[in-house]
Amino acid sequence: MKKGQFPGFYKLSVQDRLKILAENGNISRTDIDSLLEDTHVLSSQRADKMIENVIGVMGLPLGLALNFQVNGKDFVVPLVVEEPSIVAGLSSAAKTFRVCGGSESFLEDSLLIGQIQIVSPRNVDEARSKILYNKTSLLEKVNRNHPNMSERGGGAKDIEVRIFEKTESHPEMVIVHLLVDTCDAMGANLVNTMCESIANDLESLTEGRVFLRILSNLADRSVVRSRIEIDVEVLGGKGFRGDEVRDGIVLASQLAEIDPYRAATHNKGIMNGIDPLAIATGNDWRAIEASAHAFAARSGAYRALSRWTTTDSGNLLGTIEIPIKVGTIGGSLEANETIGLNQRLINITSAKELAQLMAAVGLAQNFAALKALATEGIQKGHMSLHARSVAVTAGAPPQLFDEVVNKLIESGEITVTTAKNILRELSVKTGKSLSNRKSSSIATANGKVILLGEHAVVYGRPAIALPIKDAVITEIADSDEKSELKVPAWDIDGRVRQSNSKWWDAVQGVFKALGVADQTFSVHVKPNIPAAMGLGGSAAIAVSIIRGISKHFRLELTDEEINDFAFLCEKAAHGTPSGIDNTIATYGKPLIYQAGKSPRMDLLKFEKPASLVIGISNSPSLTVDMVSGVRDRWKKNKALYEALFDNFERVTESGISAIKEGNYKLLGEMMNVNQGLLSAIQVSSPELDRMIELAIKQGAAGAKMTGAGGGGSMIALCEDKTKPVTTSLINKGFKALQVNL
């Protein structure tokens, strides 16, 4: 990673930091003296002129967030804040942003809204018409009273009218919005004065009574948008892969999009960056806060102000949309000498530029917080596996292995040296041998959902399949005893060689083909998806076991070889599978799959982001029974079923075109048609039909069962309505999870 703006700045003394800033032209010699001698601090005498009942002045730390680059310009960002880690977190985030070209921020219009409340007009429709008809003369009157503002290109720009009908709780009202460009001033007093100046005119026009004449702090006519795209490689480090960090940040962001409890904390993190900069520049941070939170709830539900997604190239894309109306001139700003010093430090040219910087700072602080949460979550998730790996490397025998792992985790220092020290201590206490060193290997595989085309894919038609990432994690470990399989989450815990399962017979056949059947080892499987729910669990387990065996015994199998072996296991489990489950489990990419001597496996890109809600029923789906049932009916009436499967193919091909065009309305319609075809071949169920109905009623673009059917799961396509669908399913006693496309 490239060096930051001032490398090692945090290690310097205050005096040396000021020296570097002076050498860089950020501050003057006078500013240095003021900062070192504390003469910039607000005095009690001056404070007494600002508010009532003054008894003193309370100080807060003034720090600098470094490394910011916004719209190609470098910034040193002053922050007034007492909370530890904000300055460091922002500087680190800005350094990451800087390496990727810096942030881009956009602000088209920056208008403040003044509200004039007119109560009980003679006729609301006539009132609106008269106000709008006289809009030009009203604006001219307002601007005549403020010629200096007009000369700078500002002033009142437009008038809008809103109507509130009479109810039991309030009278009929007409609300006039006066839209004002305040240029570089915050403009609260200006807007209030402008509203006052036309109050009598509005009373005459409407024959109503003007009551409130005051600005609104919901600055939704001054919305700043900022974005950053971060290379996935930049996100890695300190034991974490870049894609792990990216996916953790995206997952945390997704929760904030659907859950107001998380969204409140998510947005508070954004304001952790914006508020200190607002205070440092003398702006009304309370107004900015009020505006931001009102804007977050503008849809009727409180939502996140920022969003983090994965780009088609695998990078992390962060965006924020937030109302910010600030100023850089005015009497209140000039009353505090520190504000002037900070403005010189920051070197902004306009209030618009300051607002753009604030949005970028908010996005950076949000990134810093989410990255910390994501890596902490990854750390906790990997700590146990890492401790097990370290214990293996240190030579922990089976009889001490679990104890060594637990003590490693408790110590917080998961290193081979620590593990060996723990082993020595335990051997002295217990007298147990440290011989018989064992090793283990970890492998993962993906689950799946069928978007379109299940069952027909068994008969040579195409299907669209999507992965559920890392649905199964498997550990292969050496053992002194006979080989055994453990899948605690699925209540499977037995000897491999003692099992009569056809599936395990096939797995053992794979072991023989790979030359490891005579080895003794344990297979510990951790599935993150439920069993027998049409989500590809058996294929994912087969792939993860075979991949784990390949890693453990250094067989270096290719994905193609792993897929072929897994297909053998699938045939043993399901009779006549299409091969789509094991293919998705192996490759983990959205695919168009079509069985044959040379199977079609085309990668599929989604042109626009969308989400699938997976609804999990309370009834298992027994794939082998459902597949054999369809086959029996096909044999009895081939002409009818072949015609139905041809329709499956037409629907799937239409769905492929819809995905490539980003036409999710059409894709949803194809899902609905596909569900009708699945019902026609008798694989749906009343429970699945009920879940699909719930999803459609809550705004899903389309919904259908997925997998073999008869129970199991359904999927619903949602562009921006995942929460109502998820909540509705959960409230009715089903389980739900979300997959992003």
What is the C-alpha to C-alpha distance for residues 289 and 310, in angstroms, rounded to an integer? 29
C-beta of residue 448 within 8 angstroms of C-beta of residue 581: yes
How deeply is 719 buried, as exposed, middle or buried, from its count of CB atoms within 10 A (0-12, 13-18, 19+)?
middle
Angle between helices 260-280 and 351-393 (to 10 degrees): 120
Sequence-distant (6+) residues with CB within 8 A of 100 are: 228, 229, 230, 231, 234
Which residue is catalytic, options 3, 16, 33, 83? 83
Q: What b/e sequence results for 482-517 when a residue is b if at least 16 CB atoms lie within 10 Å of its CB, and e otherwise?
A: ebbbebeeeebeeebeebeeebbebbbebbeebebe
* 99: number of Cβ within 10 Å: 17
Query: What token pair was written down for 436?
Result: 């018989």
* 382 part of the active site: yes
Quickly count: other Cβ atoms within 10 Å of residue 402's Cβ. 12
Catalytic residue among 19, 135, 293, 382: 382
Tell me how far apart the alpha carbons of residues 204 and 392 are, in angstroms, rounded to a whole number.
87
Strand partners, 475: 442, 524
Nearest to 572 by CA among 536, 525, 624: 624
- Give, for 478, the enclosing helix (H) or strand (E): strand 463-478
DSSP string, 194-237: HHHHTHHHHHHHHTSEEEEEEEES--TTSEEEEEEEE-HHHH-B
Q: What is the DSSP string of 562-583?
A: HHHHHHHHHHHHHSS--SHHHH
**Helices and strands in the chain: count of H runs, count of E runs:** 27, 21
- Pick the closest to residue 213 from 190, 184, 186, 185 (CA basis): 190
Sign of the CA dihedral running 74, 359, 272, 738: negative
The residues near 25 (Cβ < 8 Å, ≥ 6 apart) are none
Under DSSP, is residue 149 helix (H, G, I), strand (E, B) or coil? helix
Q: For 661-666, which contacts have Cβ atoms below 8 Å and span 24 or more sequence positions?
A: 661/607, 662/606, 662/607, 662/608, 664/608, 664/610, 664/701, 664/717, 664/719, 665/701
Which three-class secondary structure state does DSSP give residue 482?
A: coil
Full DSSP string of 452-477: E-TTGGGGT--EEEEEEEEEEEEEEE
Catalytic residue among 135, 141, 268, 571: 268
Q: What b-and-e string marks burial along 288-314, b requiring 16 or more CB atoms within 10 Å of the CB? A: bbbbbbbbbeeeeebbbbbbbbbeeee
Amino acid at 68: F
Please state, as a whole number, how many other Cβ atoms lie within 10 Å of the Cβ of residue 226: 27
- Which residues have a Cβ under 8 Å from the Cβ of 348 and sit 6 or more positions away? 328, 354, 357
Among candidates 413, 391, 409, which has minimal Cα distance to 400?
A: 391
83 is catalytic: yes
Active-site pick, 181, 244, 257, 284: 284
Task: Give the HSE-up count for residue 535: Cα atoms under 13 Å, Cβ half-sphere.
Answer: 30
Q: Which amino acid is at 375?
A: T
CB 722 within 8 A of CB 738: yes
d(Cα 49, Cα 52) in Å, to the nearest integer?
8
Q: Which residues are catalytic?
A: 83, 268, 284, 382
